[in-house]
Structure 1
Amino acid sequence: MRTRAAALICSTVLALLATLASTASAQAQLPGPGTVPPHCSSLQDCYGFEQMAAFYDEMTVWIGEFSKATYPDMSAPSYVYVKSRTIVPSACGVVMDSSAYAYCSLEDSVYVGQDQLWAFYSKLGDAAAAIGIAHEWGHHVQHVLGVAPVGRNGVIALENQADCIAGAWVGYIDGLGRLERDDLNDINAILKLIGAAEGPGRDHGTLAERTAAVQTGFRSGLTGCNSFFPGRPVLA
C-alpha cells in the first residue's frame, strides 16, 4: 500500500490528518523513540519488527478515516498493541498475547499482537496485515450497531460480514489511490492462510465464503454487507 503522502502526490486530493491517539499501558504500549519508520513511498518493506506498533497506529488512522467518512458519530474502539513476550488480560476472559488478532465486545477493544502482526506483514505483505485489523474493526461496527448472531451459522455469518466490512475499507483506500499492484495478492494470500486453518468445527466462513465476502465489500461498499443480517443493516 502507498503511504498517505505518496497517495497525495498521485491523486492530489487527500488532506493531511492528525495522528490518532490511543491509550498506553505497561503491557499495551504505543510507539516510543525509534519505532517510527523513515519516510517510505510504500508501506511494504518500510517497517521492521520493532516498528510494528507504528504500522498498527498507521492502520488505525486509515480505518479512522473510513469510519469518520461513513459513521461521523461512531467512536473508535480501544486499539491495544500487545508486545512480544507480553500478555494482557481482557474482559472477555481470554489472556491476549503477542499472537492476538481479536476483538473483545465486552470492552470494545481490538487486540493485535506484535508477533502475529509481523508474521502477516513480513511473510504475506502489508495489505494482508492491514485487512486483518480492518476485520476486527468490522466487529466493532457490528457491536455498535447491534448485529447479534444466533447459533453457529449466525456466528459464521458474523465473521463473513466482518470480512465484507474489511473489504469495503479496502475499496475505500483504493478510491484514495493507496492500493498498490501487489496488495490484492497479499489479501488473497491471507484469506488462503486463515481459511486453511479452519476445521470441521469452524466458526468462520470457508475460503470461498470469505473471499466472496471481501469481494462484495470491495465492489459494493458497506451496503453490500447488509445481506448477511438484513434486519440489522450496517449502512442504511
Structure 2
Amino acid sequence: MEWRGRRQSDNIEDRRGGSTSGGFGRGGGFNFPSGGGVRRAGGGLSIGTIIFLVVIYFIFKMMGIDLLQMLDTGGTTSGPGYEQSQSGGTRAPANDEMTAFMRTVLAETEDTWQGIFQAQGQNYEEPRLVLFSGSTASACGSASSATGPFYCPSDHKVYLDTEFFQELSDRFGASGDFAEAYVVAHEVGHHVQNLLGILPKFNQARQRMSEADANKMSVRVELQADCFAGIWGKYTQQKGLLESGDLEEALNAAQQIGDDSLQKRSQGYVVPESFNHGTSEQRVKWFKRGFDSGQLAACDTFSGPV
C-alpha cells in the first residue's frame, strides 16, 4: 500500500508505553455496554457519598493510580498523540512508523466516509483511534491484548493493541500492511454503523433475543462491517494506492479470522451456533462485495442469506 507522504489524521490517542487498566467487561469486535445510573441533584456530600469516594480512592490506589497525586499536579495531560507514562506523566507524541501508518490509514477512512456521507447530505463524525499496549480503559470496559481490536460506540473510539498485528502475522499467517489496514477499516465500519443507527438498533433488539439468535444477528453486523471495509478498499484502489498483492493480503486476513477457521485452529472442530463474526467464506465474500461495488446499498447483510 502506497501510504507514505499522505495526509495523517490527528484523531489518534497513543497510549503505548503506559499501563492504564480499568473498567469492567470485555471488548471484542464491538462492545455494547448497558448504560444507566441515576444522577441525583442535591447540596453537600452525604456520609454514603464520602464512603463511596474513599472506596474508589483505594481501588485506584491498588491499581497503582494515586488520585491525590493527580489532583496535586492538576491531573495528567492526555489527548491526541500523547503517551501516558507509567509514572502518570506524559511524553511527546510517538513518531514511529506504526504510528505514521495508523494515522495515514485512519485519514484515508476519514476521506472515504466524509465523501460518502456528504454525497447523502450528511456529516461524518470522525472516530478516534486509541493505540495501546497491554491494557487500557474504554467507555465499554477494559481493553487488553486478549480482547483484540474493537469499537466502542459509547465513546466513538476504536481500540487497538498494535501487538495484534504481530500475532496476526505469526499466528494466523496474515501479514502485510493492507491486511493491517483492513483491520482498522473493519472497526471504522462499526463506527459507520453506529452513525447510521444500526448498532443502537441491534443493541436494543438483542436484549429480547436468545443467545443463539443474538449470535446470528451479530454475524450480520460483523459482515456488514467487512463490506464497509471493502468500500474503503475500493476508494483506496481508485486513488492508485494499492500495490500488487494488497487485495490478496486483505482477503487472506478475512479468511484467517473467520469463526470456523479460528475454532478449527484452537479446538479442532467448529460450533456454528457460537459463530458471531461469520465464517471465512462469508467474511471474504462480503469484503469483496464492498470492494467490487463501492456502494453502501451492496452491504445489506440483513436481507436474505449471508
Range into which the TM-score falls when normalised by the shorter chain? 0.7 to 0.9
Tell me whether 1:105 sits opposite 2:148 in the alignment. no
With normalisation by structure 1, the TM-score equals: 0.76
The match for 2:236 is: 173
With normalisation by structure 2, the TM-score equals: 0.60
Q: Give the deviation of 1:206 after TM superposition.
A: 0.7
Q: Which range moved further: 73-82 or 147-156?
A: 147-156
Whole-Å Cα distance in 2 between the matches of residues 118 and 70 of structure 1? Answer: 32
Note if contact 1:87-1:98 (Cα within 8 Å) is conserved in structure 2. Answer: no
Return closer, same or farther for 1:173/1:112 CA change in 2, 3 Å cut-off. same
Q: Which range moved further: 24-33 or 89-98?
A: 24-33
Q: Report which of the two structures shows the higher radius of gyration computed on alpha carbons.
A: 2
Return closer, same or farther for 1:166/1:112 CA change in 2, 3 Å cut-off. same
Q: Deviations over 1:209-231 (max 9, x none)?
A: 1111011101112324442246x
Of structures 1 and 2, the one scoring higher in RCO (CA 8 A, sep 6+) is 2
Whole-Å Cα distance in 2 between the matches of residues 158 and 204 of structure 1? Answer: 8
Between the aligned residues of both structures, percent identity stands at: 27
Q: Which range moved further: 107-116 or 127-136?
A: 107-116
Note if contact 1:82-1:88 (Cα within 8 Å) is conserved in structure 2. Answer: yes
Return closer, same or farther for 1:30/1:100 CA change in 2, 3 Å cut-off. farther
Q: Give the deviation of 1:119 after TM superposition.
A: 4.0
In angstroms, what is the RMSD of aligned CA positions? 2.5
Q: Deviations over 1:168-213 (max 9, x none)?
A: 1001100111111110221122112211114421211111111110
Tell me whether 1:116 sits opposite 2:168 in the alignment. no
Whole-Å Cα distance in 1 between the matches of residues 144 and 114 of structure 2? Answer: 28
Whole-Å Cα distance in 2 between the matches of residues 124 and 92 of structure 1? Answer: 29
Note if contact 1:157-1:228 (Cα within 8 Å) is conserved in structure 2. Answer: yes
Q: Deviations over 1:42-92 (max 9, x none)?
A: xxxxxxxxx322221111111111021112411111210113xx3101121
Q: Secondary structure at the match of 1:188?
A: helix
The match for 1:197 is: 262
Note if contact 1:103-1:110 (Cα within 8 Å) is conserved in structure 2. Answer: yes
Unaligned runs of 5+ in 2: 21-79, 83-91, 207-213, 264-269
Note if contact 2:254-2:284 (Cα within 8 Å) is conserved in structure 1. Answer: yes
Whole-Å Cα distance in 1 between the matches of residues 187 and 241 of structure 2? Answer: 21
The match for 1:78 is: 128
Unaligned runs of 5+ in 1: 6-15, 37-50, 231-236
